[in-house]
Structure formats: structure tokens, C-alpha cells
């Protein structure tokens, strides 16, 4: 298990997405609010590899889980 603290920037880099602050904000604005019935890793805007990463890291309760949870909560906020 990694011991480094992960940020939204590092999560977006891991997912292969633009990771600049404005790109992250635009991504969240574009995809929020995520319907309560949609599991984050099953959202239609992810590539299959991204879905797998998000699901697996949450299931393992890996060190990525905390920042994935943060992204999940930000995507659920009403806009």
C-alpha cells in the first residue's frame, strides 16, 4: 500500500485526465450533479479502465479511496 497523500490532481493524472485546477473544475461542473442512484464507478462518462480503477480502489479501501470519495461528493453537489 502506498503511503503518499493523494490529491484530486494526482487522481485525475492517474485516470489519464487533464489535472490542472481549471480542468478539474470544468470536469466536475460538466458532470455534476451525478444522480444519487448512479454509482460513481459506473457513471457513463468514464472509460472502462477508469471505471475499473475507481471500483477496485474503493473495494480494496486503498489509499486512493479517500480522494475518490471526495470526487464522488463533489460530483453529487447540486449546481
The burial class, CB within 10 Å (0-12 / 13-18 / 19+), for 37 is exposed
Answer yes or no: is pLDDT of 1 > 70: no
Give the domain 8-76 fold.
Arc Repressor Mutant, subunit A (1.10.10)
- Residues for the chain: how many in total? 79
Q: What is the DSSP string of 35-77?
A: PTTS-GGG-TTS-HHHHHHHHHHHHTT-TTHHHHHHHHHHHHS
pTM of the model: 0.91
- Helix 65-76 to helix 48-59 angle (10° resolution) is 120
Q: How far apart are CA 42 and CA 36, in angstroms?
A: 12
Q: Where do the structural domains in the chain lie, given as residue ranges?
A: 8-76
Give the pLDDT confidence of 16-49 residue by residue, as tens digits.
999 999 999 999 999 999 999 999 999 999 999 9
Amino acid at each position: 500500500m502506498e503511503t503518499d497523500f493523494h490529491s484530486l490532481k494526482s487522481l485525475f493524472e492517474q485516470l489519464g485526465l487533464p489535472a490542472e485546477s481549471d480542468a478539474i473544475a470544468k470536469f466536475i461542473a460538466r458532470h455534476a450533479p451525478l444522480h444519487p442512484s448512479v454509482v460513481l464507478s459506473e457513471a457513463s462518462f468514464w472509460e472502462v479502465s477508469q471505471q475499473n480503477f475507481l471500483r477496485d480502489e474503493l473495494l480494496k479501501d486503498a489509499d486512493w479511496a479517500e480522494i475518490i470519495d471526495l470526487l464522488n461528493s463533489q460530483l453529487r453537489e447540486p449546481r
